[in-house]
Chain A
Amino acid sequence: MAQGTANSATRISSFVLLIIFITLALSMTALILAFNAFSSDPLISGWLILLGFVGVGISMYVLLQARRRVRHLNKAIAPVTTTIECKKCGFKTVREFQRGDYILKEVEPCQKCNEKMMITAIYREVKEGDKDHYRF
């Protein structure tokens, strides 16, 4: 059931796609007609160019909006990292989070001094592009 609803949420509706492509095809036809009528009737050609560009613009906008919605739903969650440190010699390792990890947990002995190491941090790093940027 969940799979079915996931598909309906992440898929671009075929009806929307059909409308987009019909609009796009009509707009392209208008542009071609405008090109042919340019020398014989510049007024009609002007109107057709306007109609064609508005049609292409609208259909591209709707398509991009629909794609953006799908991309947003499929957004991957940033990986979570575990930092392990040796309190004695300061040796530090970083690995992917594993179930059972928690901050201040004592883990395997240090590779350098054989002292027990400890998990000092578990975090996710937000990519620079995903961070908020403010002008103020």
Chain B
Amino acid sequence: MIVSASVAMLQNQLAQNPLGDNPISWILNLLFYGVFIVFLFYGQRIQLYVMLREVEGSLYKLRHIKDEGRKTAIETIKEIGKPQTDPTARIDRFLEYFTISPQNLDPAGVVWKLEHILDVRDVRLKDEVKMMAPSADETQTNNLENTLEAAMALNYIFKVIRHFYLLGKKTLSLYVIMQIQMLLPLIMREAEAYASALKAFAFGQPIGDGAGALVAGRLMHGYETKKLPKDCVVATVQIEGRTAYVIKAEGPGGNVGKPGDAIEAVIKQNKGKIASVIMIDAAGKLEGEEVGEIAEGIGAAIGGPGVDQFKIEESILKYHIPINALVIKEDIGDAVSPMRKEIIDSIDKAIERVKQVILERTKEGDKVVIAGIGNTIGIGQ
């Protein structure tokens, strides 16, 4: 319809005086027809080149972020680990590591297979870090492992975007380049989040994801702690006349532990006589919600690959234990970058809400499990 209207307009112009009365209108008319014809035949290609330029700009930025990340990782390992030889080659090899998730054609038992793969990966990465940084202690090793994982994520994001950019350029397919261009703002946000995470991990600063661990840390501070499987600690604390088993990953190194195993162990030790499990974690906020907002709900508040959530759900189902969740809202950038003041300020409010849940949902003399979930980097107990 647009084409036929344009043709009619062109015919009308030609019937009158195609060149106009003066040279300026002649040039402008010619320019108009020229632009019209070019856009008619090459519009999609021009759009493709505009999109490619946009992706190229982001690719430059991603390369800059990735190289900065690699540089930070190398410098931190040299500074903390004091290796005898230059660790650069080993770090570059580390950045290319991959993990193959288990086959799920037959989903029965896939959780255990996934857990095994993740355990092997964890051991392998830790061993690599120990070889790269022989002088690092346990806390520093955990922090360095987290630093390298952030650098690894940045490397991977850069490679994927570069792949689609080059594929789009080679095939000149609008649809190949369009899908990456549309997702680019979200991918860039993620990359920037990993870049700030990398700095936080390198310095051992607490990150937003540790909000749950900080609530548990504050609750258990001053009480005797016992180690739990795996990389977790528990303290027995009296809260409002109830016995609370407060669990968190062992800090202050970068560590999320295995809260699934820890909660299962505490429930087993008490033969299932637990009145309630309360989980506290950082959760992704929707745009428009305030950072540090607290929300209450039901269910296992824990992210990750799902192994721990599965184990917690299995344990509470076995003994029919009610489970309550408390989340502290933050976006992806806040979750992996140094903890914001708003999140620190919300910790006391979260502790009050935990006490309120205990008062409302349990009776005096009951036993409760309080699990603070998240990366405990920069948070002690």
Contact = CB atoms under 8 A, between A and B. Distances in A.
Interface of A: 1-2, 5-6, 8-10, 43-44, 47, 69, 72-73, 77-78, 80, 97, 99-105, 121-126, 132, 134, 136
B307 interface: no
Given A44-B24, A77-B199, A102-B206, A123 B217 contact: no
B372 interface: no
Contacts of B341: 123-126
A136 B288 contact: yes
Given A80-B338, A102-B380, A105-B380, 19 more contacts: A1-B67, A2-B67, A6-B67, A6-B68, A8-B60, A43-B22, A44-B24, A47-B28, A77-B196, A97-B203, A103-B214, A103-B217, A103-B378, A105-B252, A122-B378, A123-B341, A124-B340, A124-B341, A126-B340
Nearest to A2: B67
Contacts of A123: 206, 338-341, 343-344
Interface in B309-362: 337-344
Contact of B61 (A9, A80, A124): A9
A134 B288 contact: yes
B124 interface: no
Interface in B37-84: 57, 60-61, 63-64, 67-68, 70-71
Task: Name which of A100, A101, A122 has the most chain B CB atoms within 10 A of its CB.
Answer: A122
B379 A103 contact: yes
Given A102-B206, A103-B378, A123-B341, A5 B251 contact: no
Contacts of A100: 204
A98 B28 CA distance: 66
B64 A101 contact: no
B203 A104 contact: no
A103 B380 contact: yes
Contacts of A132: 287
B381 interface: yes
Given A9-B63, A122-B338, A126-B340, A101 B378 contact: yes
Nearest to B213: A103
B61 A73 contact: yes
Interface of B: 22, 24, 28, 57, 60-61, 63-64, 67-68, 70-71, 196, 199, 203-206, 214, 217-218, 221, 251-252, 287-288, 337-344, 378-381
A102 B252 contact: yes
Contacts of A122: 205-206, 338-339, 344, 378
Q: Most A CB atoms within 10 A — which of B22, B205, B381? A: B205
28 contacts: A2-B68, A5-B63, A5-B64, A5-B67, A6-B67, A43-B22, A47-B24, A77-B199, A80-B203, A80-B205, A80-B338, A97-B205, A99-B203, A99-B204, A102-B204, A102-B251, A103-B252, A103-B379, A104-B217, A104-B379, A121-B344, A122-B205, A122-B206, A122-B338, A123-B206, A123-B339, A126-B340, A136-B288
Specify which of B57, B343, B344 lies most central, judged by the most chain A CB atoms within 10 Å of its CB: B344
Nearest to B343: A123
B367 to A, nearest CB: 25
B35 to A, nearest CB: 14
Contacts of B199: 77
Contacts of B70: 2
Nearest to B379: A103
A122 B204 CA distance: 11
| Most chain B CB within a 10 A radius of its CB, from A73, A121, A123 | A123
Nearest to A74: B64
A124 B341 CA distance: 6
Contacts of A126: 340-342
Contacts of B378: 101-103, 122
B96 to A, nearest CB: 17
Nearest to B347: A121
A117 to B, nearest CB: 14
B198 to A, nearest CB: 11
A126 B339 CA distance: 10
Nearest to A9: B64
Nearest to B23: A44
Contacts of A47: 24, 28
Contacts of A69: 57, 61
Contacts of B337: 124
B375 to A, nearest CB: 13
B273 to A, nearest CB: 30
Contacts of A121: 344
A136 B28 CA distance: 47
| Of B196, B287, B339, most A-chain CB atoms within 10 Å | B339
